């Protein structure tokens, strides 16, 4: 459908307005529309342009969440804490199975390795038990295919394992999934929500939220280029799904303490030996933090960093020191690689919205926060792309408690966007998928933005097509090309440019 105008919403009233068109916001709108609520999804930018576009791209099994964050000798006395971790990890495994079943076209399966060494942070039996526990009790027909082999056997089977620093005790081999296109998952979900009856309005900023006579009034400002429109709309409830920005939404429910704290993760894309293609590795860094090597087409990306940040996520960028740290950890794992900055194709970072509880950051669970002083305003925190549908259901359940149940779920559809190459295909996408800017088209509607050149090779060709469909002047087209290049360099920092 074509983009709505703010003027068309002036006299509209909604049951729910969802703020934030990332994975959680899109899933919430999809779930709410399916349950019969009149729903509006708004975002100050494009669909999936924030944290969801800067993820680790991994549909993680969740086994790592079983690891206790307290000394192992306390395990017999911390049963409740361990039980909560098991429930959370089980939920992740269930979400994993759901996405594998529903969107196989958006996932790729890879063989991963976990090296066991003497002196590891966790006992080998504990890691082994965790994998087998999750596979036996929670896999729902999507196995981890976990098995442990001797170091010699793994070395013969995998060139990646053969290059690991020695000595190795054993090596675990298991299957994990990668998102082939996280941004497109958000777009697909938003379009599904629209098919179920939701309205979508991108490039629309929430500048004020007020409670008036048991109804919420929201002020919306048009952020699209060349637009200067402001309207106020009414809604019975609100889902604040702005990710790491939830506490920055004006009138969005924040009180004394933040509901989220940001955890910054940096990823670095490199070209590793050809014989490693398609293989991944999970391990721990020298600081005892998770460290991975993820396959990505003919390349790999490595990371992440794990650091808490309090600055506006808009101002968070990849630092040289973070690149050097990741490269150093990779060289420690694989002594013969000798990676340096000249080997970096590009890098990116995201800020995960970690829930807080009693002023402390917690890794779990996903939360739908309500406040009796602000009835009908729900704030979503602590989610990941892999749990976006679960988060959407939590949001919908909270709205049901507030507004009551509605109609039986409406049926939507699963979108399977093709790798559009022809001008006709691109025109259809522009007209039907809420494209406002050139960056929206290249990075989040076409998969050119995922290529190693990040879409630069077709930017002129695609911009000419977009200009024809959207009626851009030559000046506007050139502005959009410049904006695409600037925004791509901001999000995906290229070292050698």
Domains and CATH numbers, the chain: 6-52+183-260+355-403 (3.50.50.60), 423-491 (no CATH)
Q: What is the pLDDT of residue 322?
A: 95
pLDDT of residue 459: 96
417 alpha-carbon distance from chain centroid: 19
Closest among 313, 330, 310 to 267, alpha carbons compared: 330
Tell me what pLDDT residue 101 has: 94
Question: pLDDT tens for residues 273-304?
Answer: 999 999 999 988 887 778 999 999 999 999 99
Could you tell me how far CA 159 lies from the centroid of its own chain? 30
Report how far apart, in Å, the C-alpha atoms of 304 and of each of 103, 164, 206, 266, 458 are: 26, 19, 32, 5, 30
Provide the pLDDT for residue 206: 96
Please tell me the total number of residues recorded for the chain in this structure.
Answer: 497
Which residues, including other chains, have CB under 8 Å from residue 113's CB and lie 6 or more apart?
A: 154, 158, 160, 161, 171, 172, 173, 279, 280, 281, 282
Q: What is the pLDDT of residues 409-423, one digit of tens each?
A: 656 555 555 556 688
Distance of alpha carbon 317 from its chain centroid, rounded?
17
69 secondary structure, DSSP code: S
Measured between its terminal Cα atoms, the distance across the chain in Å is: 38
pLDDT, residue 496, reads 62
Low-confidence ranges of the chain (pLDDT < 50): none
Separation CA 245–CA 185 (nearest Å): 20
Closest CA to 13 of 258, 219, 169, 217: 217
* 411: its two tokens: 């049926």
Q: What is the pLDDT, as a whole number, of residue 9?
A: 87
pLDDT of residue 495: 75
pLDDT of residue 415: 53
CA distances from 315 to 48, 229, 248, 351, 395 (A): 18, 26, 13, 11, 28
């Amino acid at each position: 459908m074509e983009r709505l105008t703010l003027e068309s919403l002036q006299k509209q009233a909604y049951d729910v307005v969802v703020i934030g068109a990332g994975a959680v916001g899109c899933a919430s709108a999809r779930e709410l529309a399916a349950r019969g609520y009149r729903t509006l999804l708004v975002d100050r930018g494009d669909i999936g342009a924030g944290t969801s576009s800067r993820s680790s791209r991994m549909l993680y099994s969740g086994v790592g969440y079983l690891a206790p964050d307290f000394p192992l000798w306390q395990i017999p006395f911390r049963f409740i804490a361990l039980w909560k971790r098991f429930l959370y990890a089980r939920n992740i495994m269930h979400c994993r199975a759901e996405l594998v079943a529903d969107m196989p076209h958006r996932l790729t399966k890879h063989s991963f390795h976990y090296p066991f060494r003497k002196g590891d942070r966790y006992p080998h039996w504990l890691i082994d038990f965790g994998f087998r526990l999750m596979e036996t009790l929670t896999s729902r027909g999507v196995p981890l295919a976990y098995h442990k082999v001797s170091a010699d056997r793994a070395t013969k089977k995998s060139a990646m394992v053969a290059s690991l620093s020695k000595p190795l005790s054993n090596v675990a081999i298991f299957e994990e999934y990668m998102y082939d296109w996280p941004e497109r998952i958000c777009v697909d979900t938003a379009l599904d929500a629209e098919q179920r009856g939701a309205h979508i309005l991108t490039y629309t900023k929430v500048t004020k939220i007020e409670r008036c006579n048991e109804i919420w009034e929201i002020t919306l400002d048009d952020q699209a280029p060349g637009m200067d429109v402001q309207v106020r709309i009414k809604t019975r409830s609100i889902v604040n799904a702005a990710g790491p920005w939830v506490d920055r939404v004006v009138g969005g429910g924040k009180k004394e303490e933040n509901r989220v704290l940001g955890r910054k993760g940096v990823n670095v894309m490199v070209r590793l030996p050809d014989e490693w293609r398609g293989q991944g590795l999970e391990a721990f860094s020298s600081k005892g933090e998770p460290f991975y090597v993820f396959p990505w087409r003919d390349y790999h990306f490595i990371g992440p960093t794990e650091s808490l940040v309090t600055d506006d996520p808009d101002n968070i960028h990849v630092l040289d020191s973070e690149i050097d740290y990741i490269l150093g950890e990779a060289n420690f794992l694989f002594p013969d690689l000798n990676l340096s900055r000249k080997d970096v194709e590009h890098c990116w970072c995201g800020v995960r919205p970690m829930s807080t509880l009693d002023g402390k950051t917690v890794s779990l669970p996903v939360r739908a926060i309500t406040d009796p002083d602000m009835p009908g305003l729900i704030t979503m925190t602590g989610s990941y792309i892999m749990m976006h549908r679960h988060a959407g259901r939590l949001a919908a359940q909270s709205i049901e408690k507030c507004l009551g149940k509605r109609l039986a779920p409406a049926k939507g559809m699963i979108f399977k966007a093709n790798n559009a190459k022809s001008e006709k295909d691109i025109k259809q996408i522009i007209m039907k998928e809420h494209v406002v800017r050139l960056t929206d088209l290249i990075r989040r509607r076409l998969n050119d933005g995922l290529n190693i050149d990040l879409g630069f090779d077709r930017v002129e060709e695609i911009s000419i097509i977009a200009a024809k469909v959207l009626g851009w002047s030559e000046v506007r087209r050139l502005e959009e090309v410049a904006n695409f290049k600037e925004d791509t360099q901001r999000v995906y920092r290229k070292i050698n440019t």
